[in-house]
Structure 1
């Protein structure tokens, strides 16, 4: 708890200390960790193991939660080694469920995904933001749907399937789910339960690494698309999975109505480059000058020097890390474009320094 400031040089500092919302949050938190007047806090009511490297976290949010649409994602904030870190996860539950669900797969080098899988337990409190995203159904749901899921990309699609189930959908749906092996199928029991409850769903598991008798194997191809959904021109397609799978899907589905959800930058744009020397980055709000190599994103290079700006998704989706570039040139890692030298807002998680910079940080 803060100590009372008997003497302040500036009256505004004293007034800043007496923020009623901060005090209310403190006292409410002492009564119940979920209580807050400003933050969406959610209690972990269950942790379910889906696969060896994936867990479903069941959450009960406080009264500030405004709900979501099937297919949307939510910012989740955890504290790791004294740092508050936010990542975005798709909601795998349905809006009408009594509790929320996020299903988190460990990612190689993924700080938050590994922390959640290793440490989060029943009774813990997580902080959420508001749900967002347009990987959702339109008002009029198409009569023929094809879902292409890869790995943990099944999570928003699972929510969409539950939405169809609860709305008494009468069309036709095919799910092609690409995973490494049978043991890597995420949310399998729930998917099979949905399938058993409806007549319109066909689920096809495709194993890329470990073939299994009676199942498809390999990767996404034109042949497998046409085998299970020959009438692609009359089908609405939803794609969620790793970048290579999505790139392949979009090339195969040219001229078809496709909606995609990508939580990774295209690999060709984020590969590190090797540069000689460094460039200066002047942080105008903190009056610091640091040197970066311009080989990684600005966010990564700042963090390597102990500077932790606000950030969220780290892939150009949430815009939490937006700051003003006052001078200098950067490369946008999402499309490879090099900026002009003048003032503009940039997302530091998906930009790389090309010259000396002044940033409003």
Structure 2
């Protein structure tokens, strides 16, 4: 049986106690876990298995949800072992759908992706933030699209394709989807339905690990692009996938109008470097000095020591983890650039220590 804390008998005192938004949220949460005056909460209305390690979570948000544009991502907060953890996931549904959806692929070492795939079920309530991101369609649509997706990078592209379908797009679109194997194709049936119902979408699956007869294999190359997209410069290009794929695409498509979304997986925040010993990191707001190996992102190495700075996407997109570096040098893991020694703002989720540092944390 649920109980409520003591409430004053005097009406004025009672009304005064209701003025705090946290108290109002508590009362509303006792009535319905999705009710809130401050927080976007969404009830899980369905969970669909896409592959052996990817699920689509269908959500019904409360009245605070302001909507989204196809291609955007949303912060999702869950509680794991008593700690609130936030990650960003691309929305895989389209804005006018009855419910919104995120599609989450289990990642090796991914705290939240593994938790969602293992534990989230129908009836659960997740906390969301506002949708953000510029990986969206322009107001005036081009006549030709080229979509390059790698792994779970298909999720925002799927949302964009659904929106184009709803808009009754009359041009041409080619999707090159690079994935490990046929069994790893995420949102497979939905992609095929879009292609079948529209007539303007051509899909080519390219398998990197397990070849399949009748399909291309390998990674993104100039030859693959020329094979399926003649006159490349006539296409508006959208790229979403891991850093190596994005880097390759940008080099091959120089001169094209390109929108890109970078996915840094947990294993990709580590680089193979030859280092010995540790570096000192002074946290000026905490008045604490710690030692890190400088082998992975600063965010990961701080978390290893029980320090949990505010973070979100963990892939250099949302800028939630930005902090001031007063002294020292870091490598930007998204592009390999080494910073100057002076003061600047850095994203600790994609920054690796190269020297002793002072951070405003």
The aligned runs of 1:179-194 (5 Å cut-off) are: 179-194=179-194
Whether the aligned pair in 2 keeps the contact of 1:43 and 1:126 (CA below 8 Å) is yes
Instruction: Tell me which residue corresponds to 1:9.
Output: none
Instruction: Tell me which residue corresponds to 1:63.
Output: 63
- CA distance in structure 1 between the partners assigned to 2:312 and 2:244 by the alignment: 23
Whether the aligned pair in 2 keeps the contact of 1:54 and 1:117 (CA below 8 Å) is yes
Point out the more displaced range, 48-57 or 242-251. 242-251
Alignment gaps of 5+ in structure 1: 5-16
Give the number of equivalent residue pairs: 349
- CA deviation after TM superposition for structure 1 residue 182, in Å: 1.8
Instruction: Tell me which residue corresponds to 2:40.
Output: 40
TM-score by length of 1: 0.89
Distance 1:55 1:28, change over 3 A: same
Instruction: Tell me which residue corresponds to 1:14.
Output: none
- CA distance in structure 2 between the partners assigned to 1:72 and 1:199 by the alignment: 25
Alpha-carbon deviations, 1:191-233, whole Å to 9, x = none? 1111221121112222223333333333322222222211212
Distance 1:31 1:268, change over 3 A: closer
Distance 1:330 1:174, change over 3 A: closer
Whether the aligned pair in 2 keeps the contact of 1:329 and 1:357 (CA below 8 Å) is yes
TM-score by length of 2: 0.89
- CA distance in structure 2 between the partners assigned to 1:108 and 1:267 by the alignment: 7
- CA deviation after TM superposition for structure 1 residue 287, in Å: 3.0
Whether the aligned pair in 2 keeps the contact of 1:265 and 1:334 (CA below 8 Å) is no
Whether the aligned pair in 2 keeps the contact of 1:269 and 1:335 (CA below 8 Å) is no
- CA distance in structure 1 between the partners assigned to 2:131 and 2:354 by the alignment: 34
Alignment gaps of 5+ in structure 2: 7-16
Instruction: Tell me which residue corresponds to 1:345.
Output: 345
- CA distance in structure 1 between the partners assigned to 2:93 and 2:318 by the alignment: 21
SS at match of 1:152: helix
Instruction: Tell me which residue corresponds to 1:120.
Output: 120
Whether the aligned pair in 2 keeps the contact of 1:294 and 1:352 (CA below 8 Å) is yes
Whether the aligned pair in 2 keeps the contact of 1:147 and 1:176 (CA below 8 Å) is yes
- CA distance in structure 1 between the partners assigned to 2:136 and 2:23 by the alignment: 38
The aligned runs of 1:1-361 (5 Å cut-off) are: 20-264=20-264, 270-361=270-361
Distance 1:108 1:187, change over 3 A: same
- CA deviation after TM superposition for structure 1 residue 63, in Å: 1.0
